[in-house]
Amino acid sequence: MKEFALIFRLNNTTDFKPSPEQMQERMNWLAGIASQNKLADKGNTLLPTLAGAKTVRPNNVVSDGPYTEIKEFISGYIVIRTDTIEEAVEIAKSNPIFKIGGNIEVREVLKRD
Amino acid sequence: MKPIVKSSEELLPHLFRQEYAKMTAVLCRHFGLAHIELAEDIASETFLKASENWPINGIPQNPTAWLYTVAKNKLKDYFKHTAIFESQVKKQIIASPISDQQDFEFDPKIIADSQLAMIFAVCNPGNPMENQICLALQILCGFSVGEIANAFLTKTETIKKRLLRARNQLRKDHFRIKELNEKEIRQRLETVLRTLYLLFNEGYFSKTNNQLIRKDLCSEATRLALVLTDNPLTKTAQTYALLSLMCFQSSRLEARTNPEGEAILFEDQDKSLWDNALIEKGNYYLIHACSGAEVTKYHLEAGIAYWHTTPTDQKKWEHILQLYDQLILIENSPVTALNRLFALAKVYGNEKAITEAEKVNDNHSNSYHALLGYLHAERNIDTAIEHYQQAINLTKSGTEKKTLIKEIKRLTKKKTHNKII
């Protein structure tokens, strides 16, 4: 089994706070993965607020906010356990994030240990 | 129409099961487990007083608070008497440790802590597993010896002996939660979880027909697991997985028996009776159970329970079969093997499952015959009835017998119907 990080991206901070229904939908999606024994790490949410996100660049340049490119920012991640990247992509496809214009990056995890 | 106010005969047994254990646990903080009998005496006397008082004076507005006030007063009386004994009879100055033990409260935090201590005391690895469960049923769930004997389908004498041995072991151990270090707690946690799992199953798959006992057992086991998630040392991935399993199973409690206490087969259950709030909690805890590489029996069983409560997914049975394939590697029990075959039948058809089942060939088990009966029912009614009949002869559960007899009747009817056509 390989592990893949699913990195969630949104491009509008107002979408960040989910409604109870959206929260519900996400939980259902996650539970579906967990119940197949494929959720390796439930991951975390990354706060996009100005107080909670800064970008550090060379020469001590620090900018406020989570933006790396234009308006897009990373909103969170989880790690799943599947045999192939195709299977991981299939799982990602059923995430409700696409309804609000977000996207998901799927990346194989190379363990450091 | 049902009266809204319950009579004390109805309320007391339920309250007893719910509060007796908590009360004993809190009282034990003052006596230590070596004197658990003292704590139990006070708790018993409290309930005795309620059973005398309530039918005459009516049920107090807050029955639980009433019980705790009485228990508190009884504890004070006890300490007063000991103090008199210590100071006058033994001609000693008032023993100081007693006075500062007097102020005790039944607040939720203390109850939870005391119960946690009790759970770990009960799950003493010095006791064999079945003795632990007997003790847990008695101390944590307020079961009588008769009820435990019922649950285990054994004689009351056997249970009495088991309890006596288990209690002696506890006394020798002088257990107190504060004295347990982190390592010991971690070591015992596995046994603790196992005991709670078995407690829950005792309620969920119980042989007894008493609905109230069964539900009390399930909710008590769940509540105790919840207590474990409050403590940083005990809220492990495994604990969350077990709690998730309990939530998923509990969500179907209302739907799986009819008012007569007969089991309703999964496919015939009224899904509108499933408790959605519990399913959501199950989801939540299952997600929390996924941290770290550890995959336990509880993870897999919670996963299986999840798919049972998710009626829409087309690949449902494939997922369930996959989980059983993994589960059987961790724990190869006959029950798991048979459940796996049921899932196999759903995915690959009954014929294939029958071939596999014949390899298992567990002729002495009622579940084995019940499964074969089910698998044959579509194509081969006579063989199905034969297996059901054997299952009836082998089972000790009245509920299961009833369900199987019903199934035979249905098949016989179908057979004659087929003939007419």
* Whole-number pLDDT of residue B87: 63
pLDDT of residue B208: 59
Cβ contact B282–A40 (<8 Å) = no
Report the phi/psi class of residue B146: left, alpha or beta, with left for phi > 0 and alpha for psi in -120 to 50. alpha
Which pTM value belongs to this model? 0.78
Distance, CA of A72 to CA of B144 (rounded, Å)? 63
Closest to B39 measured CA to CA, from B171, B165, B202: B171
B246 sits in which H/E element:
helix B237-250
CA B39 to centroid of chain Cα atoms: 23
pLDDT of residue B104: 58
In a domain, B222, yes or no: yes
Tell whether B42 is covered by a domain: yes
In angstroms, rounded to a whole number, what is the distance separating the alpha carbons of residues B195 and B255?
25
**Is residue B224 domain-shared with residue B246, that is, in the same domain?**
no
- Please report the ipTM that was assigned to this predicted complex: 0.75
Q: Domain range for residue B397?
A: 362-421
Is residue B157 in a domain?
Answer: yes
Confidence at A12, pLDDT banded by 50, 70, 90: confident
Residue of B nearest to A35 (CA): B303
The shortest CB-CB distance from B326 to any of A28, A34, A37 is to: A37
Q: Do A24 and B306 touch (CB under 8 A)?
A: no
| B188 and B207 together in one domain | yes
| B289 assigned to some structural domain | yes
Each residue's pLDDT expressed in tens, for chain B with a length of 421 residues? 344 456 777 788 778 877 888 888 888 777 766 677 788 888 889 988 988 888 888 888 888 888 888 888 888 888 787 776 666 655 544 444 444 444 556 677 777 777 777 888 787 777 787 788 788 878 877 777 887 777 666 788 999 998 888 888 877 766 555 556 778 788 788 888 988 888 888 788 765 556 666 787 888 889 889 989 988 889 999 999 999 999 999 998 888 877 776 777 777 888 888 899 999 999 999 999 987 777 899 999 999 999 988 767 778 899 999 999 999 888 888 888 889 999 999 999 999 999 888 887 777 888 889 999 999 988 888 899 999 999 998 887 777 788 889 889 988 888 777 766 6
Q: Cβ of B307 under 8 Å from any chain A Cβ?
A: yes
The fraction of chain A above a pLDDT of 70, given in percent, is 96
Residues B146 and B208 in one domain: yes
Q: CA-CA-CA-CA torsion for B140, B146, B150, B154, nearest 10 degrees?
A: 110
Asked if B419 and B386 sit in the same domain, the reply is yes
Per DSSP (E only), the strands in B154-207 are none
Instruction: Examine residue B322 and state whether it is found in any structural domain, yes or no.
Output: yes
Q: Which one of B283, B284, B295 has the shortest CB-CB distance to A37?
A: B295
Give the start-to-end residue ranges of the domains of chain A. Answer: 2-108
b or e along B109-145 (b: 16 or more beta carbons within 10 Å of the residue's beta carbon)? eebbbbbbbbbbbbbbeebeeebbbbbbbbbbbbbeb
Paired tokens of B59: 């049920």
State the distance between the two ends of chain A, measured CA to CA, in whole angstroms: 16
Nearest CB to B303: which of A30, A36, A40? A36
As a whole number of angstroms, the distance between CA B71 and CA B60 comes to 15
User: Are the Cβ atoms of A35 and B322 closer than 8 angstroms?
Assistant: no
User: Is residue B123 domain-shared with residue B221, that is, in the same domain?
Assistant: yes
pLDDT at residue A58, as a whole number: 86
Residues of chain B with Cβ-Cβ distance to A34 below 8 Å are 283, 286-287, 289-290, 303, 306
pLDDT of amino acid B343: 92
How do beta strands A2-10 and A103-108 pair?
A: antiparallel
Q: Is residue B307 part of a domain?
A: yes
Show residues of chain A in contact with B241, CB under 8 Å. Answer: none
Q: Which of B280, B283, B300 sits opposite A37 (nearest CB)?
A: B300
Which positions in chain B touch A40 (Cβ < 8 Å)? 290, 293
Kindly tell me if the per-residue pLDDT of A8 is higher than 90: yes
CATH of domain A2-108: 3.30.70.1060
Residue of B nearest to A25 (CA): B280
- Same domain for B25 and B114, yes or no, is no
The angle, 0 to 180 degrees and rounded to 10, between the axes of the packed helices B36-57 and B156-173 is 120
B6 and B91 share a domain? Answer: yes
Domain boundary among B68, B101, B134: B101
Partner A contacted by B73 (CB < 8 A)? no
The pLDDT value given to residue B96: 40
Q: Which residues of B touch A83 (CB under 8 A)?
A: none
Say how many domains are in chain B.
5
pLDDT digits (tens, 9 = 90+) for A47-91: 888 788 888 888 888 888 777 666 788 889 999 999 999 999 999
